[in-house]
Structure 1
Amino acid sequence: MRHISIFLFLILVGCKNETKNKTEMGTDNQSEITTETENGIDQSASEMWNDFIQSNPEFKNGEIPESDFFHNNEVDANRLAELTLTGKKRASSGLYSLYEQYNADLPSVGTKQIVTDFNGKAKAIIENVSVDTIPFKKISKEYAELDMGTDIEPLKKWKKAHWEFFENFLKESGKKPTEEMLIVAVEFKKIWPKDE
C-alpha cells in the first residue's frame, strides 16, 4: 500500500523540496482528518463534484473523480492547490519508471481529478488536456512555467526541484536520476470552479 501511495503522489508531484512529510504529522491530526471524511472522501470533494454536475449535467452519470493533493508536505500542497485554483499551475510531472515499476497506466487525456489541499479539502477540478513522455533534459521553459506556476526562472526552478525530489525517491531503490530519465508531462485545465 505504501508503494501505491508513493506512486500516486509522484504522479501529482508539483515541485519544491520535502519539508514536512504527512506521516510525521502525528496521530491527532490524522484522526481529525478521518472524522471529516465520508467513505474515505472529504465531504468537500463530493460537494464540489455535485456543484460541477449541476452546472454540467452531461457528467451526472459519471463517477466522482479521484481527489488528491500535489506534493508531499502541507506547505507545498496548499501552495500548489492555490496555484491550481488561480489557473497559474496547469501541469504536473511524474517519473515514467514508476509507471513501469508498478505496471500502471499512464494518465490519459480527458481524465478529471479533484485537487485538494493537504488536509483533503477540495479546491478545484482539473481535466487532463495533454500527456507526453519527455526526457528530463528536454523539458521546455514553457512546460516548466505551467508546472511551477511562475514565469520567474521556471526551467531552472523546475529542474532543481524535480531533480532533488526524484533523487531522494530513487535513492531508496539504489538508483540515481539522469538527464535521460523519462518524465510523464501532464498538462491540464481547471474546469471548476468557473472563473468569475
Structure 2
Amino acid sequence: MATPSEQLWDDFVKENNIEGKTFQTRWFGEQTNPAQVTKLANLILSEKKRSTTKPLAYYSAEQEAVPQVGDYFVLLNGDMKPVAVAETVVSELIPFLRISAEHAYNEGEGDLSLEDWRARTRTKFNDLMANYDHHFSEDDPVVSEAIKVVYRKD
C-alpha cells in the first residue's frame, strides 16, 4: 500500500504524464517545531514563499544532495502530511553576501527586505552549523533555491 506521499506523487505524475522522475519529501523549518513547519508550508502554498537558502556545508555534513533544477519534492506540513508537489526551478551556489534582494523578498518571511533576511538568516545559519562544529561565515557558499508549487492536494 502506498504511503500518503507516494499516493500524492502518483496522482501528480499520472495527471501530468511525467515519466522517469523521482521525488523526495521535504519540509521547511525545524521538524521539532510543527507550528513553524506548517507556517512555512502555508507560505509556500500561498506562493508568498518561492525561495529558500541553506549553507553548502549543511548538505555536505548531512550527506544530502544539493537540489537541482527539475527536482521534485512532496511538501510536508507540521503533521508530516503531504500537501503539495513542488519543483526546484533555480539552484545556484553563491556566497551568502551575494544573495539578492529579490531572493530575500521571495523567501516570504520577516519584512521581506534584504537587511532583515541577512540578520535572521545569519543567526539561523550560525545555530544550524554549530550542530556540525562548523562556524558559519558570510563568505561561505550557500545554495540559493527557487521553488514553485506544481500540484496541490486539494
Q: Please give the TM-score of this superposition, normalised by the length of structure 1.
A: 0.68
Structure 1 CA distance, aligned partners of 2:64 and 2:13?
28
1:8 corresponds to which residue? none
Tell me which stretches of 4 or more aligned residues in structure 1 moved more than 6 Å. none
1:145 corresponds to 2:105: yes
Q: 1:112 Cα deviation (Å)?
A: 0.1
Q: 1:126 Cα deviation (Å)?
A: 0.8
2:124 corresponds to which residue? 165
Between structures 1 and 2, the one with greater helix share: 1
Structure 2 CA distance, aligned partners of 1:50 and 1:177?
39
1:66 corresponds to which residue? 24
Structure 1 CA distance, aligned partners of 2:66 and 2:105?
22
State how 1:88-167 maps to structure 2 within 5 Å.
Answer: 88-102=48-62, 104-147=64-107, 149=108, 152-167=111-126
1:51 corresponds to which residue? 11
Between Structure 1 and Structure 2, whose CA radius of gyration is higher? 1
Uncovered stretches (5+) of structure 1, i.e. residues with no partner: 1-37
Structure 2 CA distance, aligned partners of 1:138 and 1:157?
15
Q: Please give the TM-score of this superposition, normalised by the length of structure 2.
A: 0.84
Uncovered stretches (5+) of structure 2, i.e. residues with no partner: none
Number of matched residues? Answer: 152
Root mean square deviation, CA, Å:
2.5
Inter-CA distance 104–48: structure 2 relative to 1 (3 Å threshold): closer
